[in-house]
Amino acid sequence: MLHAYAQAFALVFDPYVLTVIFASALFGLFVGCIPGLTATMATALLVPITFFMPPVPAIAAIVTATAMAIFSGDIPGALLRIPGTPASAAYTDEAYAMTKKGQAEIALGAGLVFSAIGGLFGTLVMVTSAPALAEIALQFSDFEYFWMVVLGLAGAVFIGNASILKASIALLLGLLVACIGLDNPAGYPRFTLGSTELTGGVSLIPMMVGMFAVSEILRFMVHLDPPLKLATEEIGNIFRGMWALLVKYRWGLLRGNILGTIIGIQPGSGADMAAWLSYAMSKKFSKEPEKFGTGHVEGIVEAGAANNSALAGAWIPAIVFGIPGDSITAIAIGVLYLKGLNPGPTLFINNPQNIYAIFLVFVLANLIMIPLGWLTIKAAKMVLSVSRAIVMPTILLFCIVGSFAINNTVFGVALMLVFGLLAFVLEENGFPVAPAILGVVLGQMMEENFIKSMIKSDGDPSAFFTRPIAMVLALSTIIILFWPVGTWLWRRWRRNSVLTT
């Protein structure tokens, strides 16, 4: 193991990889800082470039850029009252209220320092738990994998979506897209509509660029909001008083870290929900809940840490089981597959140095976040004055080239456009996009394990429940599936009994 760590060090502390990390850090900070550009979009835009890199720098680029983007989303939240990424939305009003009180440096400092702490905490959990989980995962057969995928998809649909019905439809659409092409157990070309380009299936990269970048650009083209205006130009020393905050809110910070990591691990929900829940939790347990919303730093400490720890947490199921914890890791898993580095427990045995390299990148990214984040806050006025009317078309040009670059045909650009429009229309109508992307990424794995299990058991579905681990996983899935129905029935039953007595 030590040997593998030495190898991992050599992999990460290589001038090329370090340059990639530094450049993607700046990219992530910039993207996070600009409202309308999300961490997921940063990942989607990086993918075409990572296509040309070896696996470790490719993953390092994604890990670093997203960690930075989730932090720097706090900056426009505090200065413009517009969250840079959805993960900062939970405490944007709070941070803005602090800026109005002349405490912008405390809001931003807390965002930065506790983001880094949250990220490091999530990484620590990952480093300690992932290898142990991989040991368990090695015992899994097709039955368990089938249930793991179903559990992951069920989580994506049933947890945190406004409409479970619409989330289910999004997921099923994703699964259908995954069916296109030759890559199925029978090797039969399905739904290719006579196109030779579709025989290989829908390329992940143009699809992701379309769904996460082009759709955002289309949304910007039709947005009616007034231009951005900075609330303050004076930002003092952001590190002053941070130690005192750390001591004062240590329990809240720990709670935010733990909650964030757990929500990250849970498939389908990521940094956004971690921030919302832990902000709510912070208010609930606070000694002074009446101060929340008036420019009180406590919630920012807790939720700012939670969204970054969720980011790391999401990687745990991704590298151990190949099941993404959020849409960012869904994209990252797609990248790993393209590199022939299929995520899963065997990765821990065959290529442990790659896994340890990912751990190291996480630590490194969260450490360099502090100086680079400080610089970004210093330069915030300049960054935020870059007109989005210039940034967005330029990104569209990048999208075109990125989608083209995968197969060197304009067919990729066409795919990108189709999925961009689809995501735009779906989101306008209240369909979440994350379940769809999880469906596309996991569809093939789900089908393979389903078919293999059915063949092994001679078409007898009870085999899905008889192995002990499979049964536990099946039970957890069923609990998630029936949780909403159950609570609904319970409320109804209680209301009725209240009415009759």
Question: Shortest gap between Cβ of 180 and another protein (angstroms)?
Answer: 9
451 binds another protein (CB under 8 A): yes
438 binds another protein (CB under 8 A): no
421 binds another protein (CB under 8 A): yes
Separation in Å, CA 352 to CA 7, 145, 346: 9, 21, 9
Candidate residues 37, 104, 416, 433; the one interacting with another protein per rule CB under 8 A: 416
User: Site map for another protein, 196-215, x if CB under 8 A?
Assistant: ------------------x-
DSSP H stretches of helix in 73-163 = 74-80, 92-100, 104-137, 142-158
Number of residues that bind another protein (CB under 8 A): 55
Site for another protein in 27-56 (CB under 8 A): 49, 52
Nearer to another protein, 363 or 481 (CB): 481
175 closest CA partner among 427, 450, 405: 450
Question: Shortest gap between Cβ of 424 and another protein (angstroms)?
Answer: 9
400 binds another protein (CB under 8 A): yes
- Report d(CA 373, CA 366) in Å as an integer: 10
Question: Shortest gap between Cβ of 408 and another protein (angstroms)?
Answer: 6
Please give the distance of CA 196 from its chain centroid, rounded to a whole number.
33
Nearer to another protein, 173 or 242 (CB): 173
Residue owning tokens 């909001």: 225
Interacting residues of 157 by C-beta distance below 8 A, sequence separation 6+: 164, 167, 168, 171, 268, 435
Measured in residues, the chain has a length of 501
User: Site map for another protein, 50-89, x if CB under 8 A?
Assistant: --x-------------------------------------
393 binds another protein (CB under 8 A): yes
- Report d(CA 202, CA 415) in Å as an integer: 8
463 binds another protein (CB under 8 A): no
Q: Is 102 helix (H, G, I), strand (E, B) or coil?
A: coil
339 binds another protein (CB under 8 A): no
106 closest CA partner among 270, 323, 296: 296
Report phi then psi at 409, rounded to 5: -135, 155
- Report d(CA 182, CA 222) in Å as an integer: 38
Question: Shortest gap between Cβ of 485 and another protein (angstroms)?
Answer: 13
Candidate residues 42, 110, 117, 218; the one interacting with another protein per rule CB under 8 A: 218
Contact 201, 181 (CB under 8 A): yes
Interacting residues of 341 by C-beta distance below 8 A, sequence separation 6+: 55, 347, 351, 354
Mark the segment that binds another protein (CB under 8 A) among 197-205, 263-271, 369-377, 443-451. 443-451
8 closest CA partner among 368, 355, 363, 362: 355
425 binds another protein (CB under 8 A): yes
User: Site map for another protein, 223-242, x if CB under 8 A?
Assistant: xx------------------
Contact 199, 189 (CB under 8 A): yes
216 binds another protein (CB under 8 A): no
Q: Is 202 helix (H, G, I), strand (E, B) or coil?
A: coil
Binding site for another protein (CB under 8 A): 49, 52, 165-166, 168-169, 172-173, 175-176, 179, 184-186, 188, 190-191, 214, 217-218, 221-224, 387, 389-390, 392-394, 396-398, 400-401, 404-405, 408, 410, 413-414, 416-417, 420-421, 425, 428-429, 446-447, 450-451, 454-455, 459
